[in-house]
A and B are shown apart, each in its own frame.
Chain A
Amino acid sequence: MRRRDFLLASMPLVLAASGARAIGPRSEVGVGRLKHGGAWDARPEALRRLLWEVGKRTSIAAAKDAAVVALDEESPEGKELFWQPLVVLAGEGELPPFSARQRARLERHLRYGGTLLIDAPSAADPFVAGAKRELAAVLPGTTLRALDDEHVIFKSFYLLDGAVGRTRDDAHLYGIDVAGRAAVVLSTNDLLGALERDRFGTWRYDCEPDGDAQRELAFRLGVNLVMYATCLDYKEDQVHIPFIMKKKRR
């Protein structure tokens, strides 16, 4: 209860700080939550929490909440799609197929600079198969490959050893390169599940097997993903390499 009071008391300060860090709401770094025909909203609070953490931990002027986006053209969510360079496709269970026009819009988004983060509860969840089916249709001829441990996502802000989420069944992230950058990143450890909590500040899911330490790593991965979306391969610039190598050797 004391924690809740503290959070409520500190909220105005946080909002004020956040609101003063960009000239115009569109200049804040936000995330698009992709609305689709399946269970798209199973982790409704996770991205809000991630953005709050990004704003707290980094110099990024983060938006207060994620924006709902869609692949159709007519709806307000559909019009919002291209205003969100980072879009998260999350869900569990079956992912109904996208229409041809929806696939074309998603392809256009990715080819012109957008980034898609796909988060699944587990590798065995049918959502993964559905997501892979859609990726094959959206970006034909590309391959979803495991990102190696040295990929810039694992060092864009925090130095990380691998992927985690609510689970840590698979230490890999998977990605598809478009024009030299990972335009699609797939996590199968329920990353959003680790970030999800209710409005009272209670974590909705336990992280297994390492509890809150694992949750912290999940947040760090989330921060790194947002940082990658905004800075791209900045941490692979030659000037950073000796510093990062030195830290990793320690």
Chain B
Amino acid sequence: MSPSDATFNASELVALTRLPGWVIAAVALALVLALVVGARATRGAPPAVRAGLLALRAALCAGVVVLVLEPGMRLMATSKEHNRVLIAVDVSASMSEDDDGRSRARRAADAAKALVDDLARRDAPFVPELWLFDGTARKAAPGDLDLLQSGALVPTGAASRLPAALEAAPLGNGAPPLGGVVIVSDGADTSGLSPALTPELREAALRVNAPVHTVQVGASTPFKDLALERVLTDELAFVRNKLTIEVNVRSKGFDATVPLTLKEDGRPVASTDVTVSDGETVKASITFEPQRAGKRIYTVSAPVLADERIAENNRVDFTLKLIRDRIRVLLVAGRPSWDERHVRRILKENPSVDLISFFILRSTTDLTNAGNRELSLIPFPTRELFTEELDTFDVVIFQDFNYRPYQMAPYLENVKQFVEDAGGGFMMIGGELSFSEGDYEGTPVADVLPVRLLPGSGHVSTESFAPLLTAAGASHPVTDLGELSGGEPQGGLATLPPLEGVNLVAGLREGADVLLAHPFLNVGSEPAPVVAVAEVGKGRSMAVLTDSTWFWGLPHVGAGGRGDAHRRFFANALRWLIRDPELSRARIVVDLPDATRGVEPGSAVPLEARTFNSRYQPEGGDRVVITLTPLDATDGTAPTILEGTTGDDGAWRGSFEPPSSGVWRARVDAKAGGDDTKPIGSDEDAFVVRATAAEKLFAEPRPEVLAALASAGGGRAVPVDEVRGLPFVDRKLTRVHRQRTEPLWNQAWVIGALTVLAGAEWWWRRRRGFA
């Protein structure tokens, strides 16, 4: 050994051979055979001689073993491994609360220091490792505990997540052994953690594989508070349908019956009473019937009770997207036909459509051979429909219908206003009684059509044709016919039966788009439109200039198709006509990490506005005006207006720091290329800015949560002044810092000894006559 070997404090015998296992096995077998042969060959010899010869052969075999295995000595410098004890101290804002003359944070620092001192005094090698956590965990810097203890470091974490304390501990291969975890906290978790914990948290506590102790900081006894914790409801609901929301009401120090009020956009819509008991959380249900579609903001509130510690958590805001349950459609058909029949069937079978239809079953020239009493016909209530009831509809469809015989001329202006001013949807479907053939040229209805009508009649073609999908149609939602469009030329239209017959027009209204065009008939230099759409004032209109789209139904099935192109076409058309928010050409998105809980006070709200052209492709260079309006500001906060222009990706991005708390509505109004005369759409979203940070709302110490966590982790939950003596696990691991291996077999005396042994055995055997 060299002089430095003195620093090694452990050694072990090792084999240095690199021979494969089968060679070693073969050698071992050969040695056994050599021993057996040697024993058999010396039969009859005097016992002393035989024993001596066998001893010599055994010694020789042992020498061969040494040669094969190449023994060596491993010298090691080792030390005993210390066990980490992870001490995670809560530094969320609630720890700055002062319960009894000394802040929770300072008490937590006292406890952590006491624990460090306790560990240092133990015989078992435990090393404290200090972490700080709030929403996340980080290793404490040297001196952090002192700063915390002195009050120089004030906890300001905006959230408390007890799981973060467990996530701090590096586990697994290579990590130093863990003797245990100690969480020093008030338990005021802001992620909504209940004593039931969560499966993930329970699993995390078990994964530590060491005791998880909790140290309770803060006094809960004098704390009196009523808190509306969270609302349970779906993100989507239907207007004019009863909706029940549930809200968790937690009471600390109160046994009372409390009225709860539900407000929609600041207006009371429902109320209920809930009876609460000290220390319990009860679920209150409120049922109401929302009336207006769109994203609405709701507030559930309870009065502030006497001596209540936190008033701000007596209110909870949430947003709800309300969609209309049914689209009211008025279908007026000039005559029964297969086209009418297919459209009616599609609308009737659509669960989202409330269909009111009127068909002209008999004209003035028809001879029924029967008196009126023998007929099931009813009067066509034009006045009621087109004056009193018109605004109750979302979409009006004129299908192969001529208005003249029914004295409807005075009401056509109402139809125009229904579209332009009331934002209704209007569709005209072709036929011998539609468009110019229906004598609409020059009427108010013509003003809202996407096409310009020819004067007089006779403007029809009866030829068969396969319509062409235009560039606008290729990206427009109306002509998205599903799988049919996927990857096939002309969006798969060629797989549909050709259409037959088209109403001819003078051209397109300004700003209108043709989605399907005629393959060989032209209007001027452009293909004649077959399906065209237009934005008209606040509403939308659509022209289907043929009565043969039903060919995409049953006849398509006969040709081996699925027959759903017709259904999909009309379903798309309805959604587009009613300005289904999902199909709006201007969108605003307020993307919050947790929309239901709202924005922290002082936080910026990210905003993104997107615009699309009439072909539903992202459009750059559009002017967007974002109006941010506080809906329940009591301090007279004025709306904030942000303006911008969409980039090449069709998006404008910005942020907004709300000057006041409460509910806010974000609305985007977009104009094409900044031209005020070309509005392309609007959209709304809503968000809530909390009046008080969650840390303040959920500041109440929660020993029950800490106790549950300690129980799940196999540890103890102890008060802040009883941290000494907590049990930890000593893994008894040894760490090798340095090692060296010395071969033992390649010494001269080993070779010499083997040679002498072999010679002696051979000489003795020969002399005794056994060789």
Measuring CB to CB, which residues of chain A are less than 8 angstroms from any residue of chain B?
Answer: 20-27, 29, 56-61, 79, 81-83, 85, 108-109, 112-114, 155-159, 179, 216, 219-220, 227, 229-235, 237, 239-240, 243-244, 247, 250
Contacts and interface: CB of A to CB of B under 8 A. Distances in A.
Contacts of B554: 82-83, 85, 109, 112-114
Nearest to B464: A24
Interface string B342-370: 10110011000000111111110011111
Given A24-B464, A57-B366, A83-B555, 15 more contacts: A23-B431, A25-B462, A25-B500, A58-B335, A59-B361, A59-B363, A82-B558, A108-B557, A109-B554, A113-B342, A113-B554, A158-B375, A230-B341, A231-B340, A240-B378
Given A27-B500, A109-B558, A56 B367 contact: yes
Interface string B490-509: 00000000001111000000
B747 interface: no
B368 A230 contact: no
A216 B463 CA distance: 38
Interface residues of B, number: 55
Contacts of A85: 338, 341, 554
A24 B555 CA distance: 15
Interface in B305-359: 334-342, 344-345, 348-349, 356-359
Contacts of A235: 376
14 contacts: A22-B547, A23-B462, A27-B501, A58-B368, A59-B334, A59-B336, A81-B558, A108-B557, A114-B554, A157-B375, A230-B336, A230-B338, A232-B344, A250-B373
A85 B566 CA distance: 15
Nearest to A231: B336
Contacts of B555: 82-83
A239 B376 contact: no
B503 A234 contact: no
Nearest to B338: A85
Contacts, number: 156
B376 A232 contact: no
Contacts of B341: 85, 229-232
B376 A247 contact: yes
A247 B374 CA distance: 8
Nearest to A83: B555
A243 B431 contact: no
Interface in B361-406: 361-363, 366-370, 373-378
A56 to B, nearest CB: 6
A26 B555 CA distance: 11
Nearest to B431: A23
Contacts of A243: 376, 378
A158 to B, nearest CB: 6
B548 interface: yes
Nearest to B430: A23
Contacts of A231: 336, 340-341, 344, 359, 361
A219 B374 CA distance: 14
A248 B345 CA distance: 27
A17 B199 CA distance: 77
Contacts of A112: 553-554, 557, 563
A25 B363 CA distance: 21
Contacts of A157: 361-362, 375-377
A156 B335 CA distance: 14
Contact of A113 (B335, B548, B553): B553
B376 A59 contact: no
A237 B367 contact: no
Contacts of B430: 23
B460 interface: yes
B432 A61 contact: yes
